[in-house]
Each structure stands twice: as structure tokens, then as C-alpha cells.
Structure 1
Amino acid sequence: MSCDFLALANAGIQGLHPYQAGKPIEELQRELGLDHVIKLASNENPLGPSSKVVAALQAASADICRYPDANGFELKAALSERLSVLSSQLTLGNGSNDVLDLIARAYLEPGKSAVFSQHAFIVYPIAVQACGARAIVTPAKDWGHDLDAMASAIEPDTRLVFVANPNNPTGTCFSAAAFTAFMAKVPSDVVVVLDEAYIEYNSGEDLLDGVNLLAQYDNLIVTRTFSKAWGLAALRVGYAIANEQITDALNRVRAPFNVNSFGLVAARTVLTDDDYLQRGCAVNATGKQQLQEGLARLGIDYIPSAGNFIAAQFEGDALAIYDGLLREGVIVRPVGVYQMPQHLRLSIGLETENRFLLQALTKVLGS
């Protein structure tokens, strides 16, 4: 080429590497000629979609020639009722990744900074760097967020702090009391993004629900998704809840029609299927115990998780284990990009899938 077009891109983008998604089942089948492959790499809901959603999508297919509702009125109304917030506090996105990117674009630029933790979701550094802003990364504590260190790391040019509860890929979480103490230390002009993509799987005493704190903190944004517990990963629907001024800022950079019609219909429908949500959470709790007991029998350490996945630790570089599992027809997620080269993230599947994974791990470790 006569021109280096990458060099023409802004400096932040030049230094980025594309996000690496979990390997698709079809790709592994093509590569190794395998008939039976299970994917436990992307924290998807193993139940499959809600039957109510399938029926609603069939009915909606007659209107695929029409643009979706750009404002997502009906979905916002359903979320408003469920969460007891105003529709004007909601921003819809093409998955919560899209919402996180909107937040970064709205509040970051060269000369500004954002704080997030070591081992935090990889989209945070990507969004920050793409805006030309500076990333301030605090060391993790017991694989999770050190909230005191994060509060201390805030500088005069800091505009955003990203925190995830539970955190991906470690599965760690913090309590409502810990978060409240953290917010007391954050300046009022620094926006805190509380990523609750896995909140439906979290349980226990002093459980943090960020939506309940929005009235107390004007500088708080809560982000959530329909991709995990609600089983809509393919349709990409996420959302943010915040005060109306922040929501106004986000909608100024939000692309029109960023959530498609099927996504809007599916998300609105699944909110009426609490039985589906409860079954999924029950399957996850049972599967988590199954995997934890199996890993313990194999002598494999793991990080206790509040999500629908477990980060398991191996001796040496975990990529060899990952490759071995691929040959056995099991796709999991290496997390070396998160500075965790000895770990693999194992999504929790159905009982048969978890058993297949543990059998494959036994074979790989014994070879």
C-alpha cells in the first residue's frame, strides 16, 4: 500500500489489539474434525432461550423490514417498572459492552484518566485507550478489587472509575457496605461505573444492588445486560441506569437503532419470565458446586466465584491445558490477557456438560 492507514488512526487505537471472543463451536469442529464439542468459554446461559422469547420472536419476524424503535420505549417502560426507576434514567445498548463504550466516549478524552482494577474486564482498558485517555490500574487484592486502593488512585484529571461486581474473569465480589465506604471517598465530579453484568447470579448477605443506591449518589452509573442470566447473548441487549443528566449525555453519543427489534422484543418478553431466571440461577448454583467439587478432587485450585464461571488455576502456563481440552472437544477461556496466565475461566454449564469437562480435564492432566 502507498499509505500506512493504521498510522493515520488516533494514537490510542494504534496501540490496541482487537477483542478476542471465545472460540466458536463450529470453528473447533472445522479445525479438528470433531463431532461432539461443548463450549464453556463465554459465560452463556446453558438452558437455551426462554420459550416465551422464542414465541415472541416468531411473531416479531413479520416486521423485520421496519426499523426498530430508536428509543426502545416499551423495553424502557418494562425496566422502569421492574427496577422502580424513571425511563429517562435508562440508556439502551447493543450489549453492556456498547454501554461501557458510550460512557467512555461521553466522559473521556486525551488529558483525562480512568481508574480500574488489575484483572478487571478487558473492555475497560480498550474503551479508555480508544478515547486517548490514560488508564490508572490498581493492583488486585485476593484476585478482586481493592476499593481503598482505587479510591486513593483517583487523580485531578480522573473522570471515570470502573468497578465490576461480580468481576469477570475472577468471579470476585464486594459487599454493599464496602461499596458505600468506597463511594464516600470518591469526589462528586468523578463518575463511578458499577458493572453488574452478573448480578442475577450473586447471592448472600449484604448483597450489593447498585440500583438501590442511585438516589444516594448522583455520580453513579449502573450497567447490566440480558446476555447472561436472561439468555439473550446473541441479541445483544444491555442498559445503563443513572441520573437524567448522565443519561442525556450518553444518548448524545448513542448510535440510532443500536438495539435491533428482535433484541427489544426478546428483552421485554424475558422480563415477564421470572421462572426462567430462577431455573437458570438454580442450574448455575448446582453446576458451580459440581465443578468446585470436581476441581477439588483433581487438586486444582480455583477462585471462589459469585458469577456463572470459575477461574481455575493450574501449574505453569494454562495454555497447554487449554489446547489439550480443545482436542477433547471442550472450549474454555484462557485469561492470559488479564495477567492470569496460569488460569482458565470455566463457564458453568448443564450437569452433562460439567461432567464432560471434568472428564476431559482428568484425561488432559493425566497425559
Structure 2
Amino acid sequence: MDVLEIDPKKIRNLRRNLLRWYKAHARELPWRAGPRGDKKPNPYHVMVSEAMLQQTQVATVIDYFNRFVAVFPTVASLAAADEQSVLNMWQGLGYYRRARHLHAAAKMVVDEFEGEVPREADELLKLPGVGPYSAGAIASIAYDQRAAIVDGNVIRILSRIFKITKPADETETKKRLWSIAEALVPAKDAGNYNQAMMELGAMICSPRGAGCLLCPVRNQCESLADDQMDVHDLPVMLPKKKPRAVTHQLIAVQRRDGKYLFVKRPAKGLWSNMFGLLSLEHDVKLSSEPDFNAIKKHLKTSVNLTAGETDHVKTFKHQTTHLTIHFELHVAQDGKGRAVCDGEIAWRRLDELDDLPLAKPQQKAVSLLRKFEAQLAV
């Protein structure tokens, strides 16, 4: 079906039913102004929430959002903050590039847009980390601009309603989905409409276990009307590449005073500019026993330390989009030398880490080190 062939009556019914359902059932969220217009949206809050909600569930984001805007209540306060403070407040949410982009976007809003989050999607696209989806979401939700959105929820809903059986991640199908989304979004109440689509995908039209009997647009759904089709078969996606298995050996260097060495990571790559235990990273999964000679050599070449006794603590796994990372945690007693490296370093006890931004695997490692210390103390 060509976009031009969509029945205007179907569009009107879909909009009406979806908005009516949303205004009756929308969840109360801290960044949401409310579907009935009882308060005005805060564009800065919308911008922060959209950054956090990328690849993260709403339930997880709520507490992070509340803490973040308590520390950085305005776009100006975020722009004025140092990156380490921003990363520290983001700690645990993952995908830290989002935090750096949000920080850079806040600076650009202050420097180039007089401290006001842009109203138009075209202007929002100039901000770091803001793509077509985020631009449409911010423009429509914050300012009720007529702008379309297409994310995972919308892809799923539109694929089912219009029975799109071609892979949704193919270029031509993506274009078609955007065209349909643009045709459906109304000129008035665009923000509520877009939020209704997201809400429908989260609450009713889910990937598995779609609640079709409760769906406000079930009468417009072509895949539901087809007795030969299961709505859960849509959307169709191209096969994903299997994540590559790699190994990161974490080396917890401990001084005689009980403090551990934490090193700031490089500005590029995984968990950039965050702190962590010294890491020896391999591009393949290691199948043999820990190579303590390689660990001691890495200590010497990377931070100029000669390690004493080295113990293996635990091996654990962390999954990213493209990598399955096997972390091997070791404790190395500090022998001789003074720690020196190209990046910033910090010696800390395990209960002195609140100001250091640590990624989830590093937080896991710290937790394991605490248990290791407790066992030694018995």
C-alpha cells in the first residue's frame, strides 16, 4: 500500500481512538506534562528524558531522571557542569555516549539558542546526539509541533496496523514507515498523539503478548483482521549479527594502605572518560587459565608498577549490543614503583568512590572486591 492510498477515514479513526485512549490511560511520568493539558511541558525535561529513554525502559529511567534534574535543574546548569559530574549522575544507565551528547547539546542550546531548547525539528537536528526520532519527539511533545517519530514501538505498531511484511530495518521499508508516520501525525495534539503511540507500544502492542482485545485501534489493524496471520510475527527484522566474544582482564592494584588504583579511560571507545580498574583487553575470548605474566607485564608498561602477589577473584560476563565481554577480575598487590600513566589516576578505598563515574561492569567488579575483602577478613 502506498501512503497516498491510506483511507482518510482510517487515519481519522486511528487518531481519534488513540488519543481518547491515551487521555484516559496515560501513565503519570515526571517529564510528562499530562495528556489533558493540566500543565505545560518543560522542553528541557523532555530533552533529558528522550536522551535517557533511548534503549532504556521507562521504569528504569524514572529514578535516574529525578536525580539528574535535581542536580541539573536547568539547561544552563547542565551546560555549566563538568563532564565527570554528568557521567557520575548517569552512572548505571549505560550507553554513556548519550550523556556526553546531552551535555554537549545543553552547551549548544546555551551558546547558540539563547538558552532555549529549539522548537523546530530542523533546528533540533543540529544538536549533538539528536537524530530524526529525538527531534520529532522533542518538537512535538515540548512544543506540539507537527513532527513524526519512528522508534521500535512505532515500527511495531505501524507494521502490524498496515501489515508490513518486509523487513522493517531495510532502507525502503524504513522510508515507508517514516512516510506513514508523517501522514498519521495530526497538526493539533501532535505531542499527545506521539506519546500515545509510544504508550501503546509499551502497554498494549508489545513485542510478545500483545493485548489486542484492549487495543484502542484494533479495528484499524490489518494484521489482526487477517485470520492467516499472527500479529506477533510482525515486525519482520533482518537477522542480527551475533555479538563477538572478547575478554577484558580487570586488574585491581591494591596498595599497602588498602587503596585501589582507578584509571580514567581514553576519550574514545567503550566507557570513554569514565574511571575504572586497570584493564587488559583482548579481541577474543580467552579459554586458558589467567596469564599472570601478561598481567604483570601490562602493569609495568601501562602504569609503571611491579606487582607482587596476584590472585584471580572472579570471572563474570557483560553484554553490549555488539560484544559479549568476559571480565576476569584479579587483585594485584602493589610491589615496587610509583603509578604513572598518560591518563588521570586515583587511589581510592572501595567506600570512597561516590565521585568517580563507574560503568556497570566496574560497579560489579567493586562489589566483588568488597566480598573478596570480607572473605579475607574472616
Asked if TM exceeds 0.5, the reply is no
Please report the TM-score for the alignment, with normalisation by the length of structure 2: 0.20
Q: Rg bigger for which structure?
A: 2
Greater RCO, CA 8 A, separation 6+ = 1
TM score, norm. by length of structure 1: 0.20
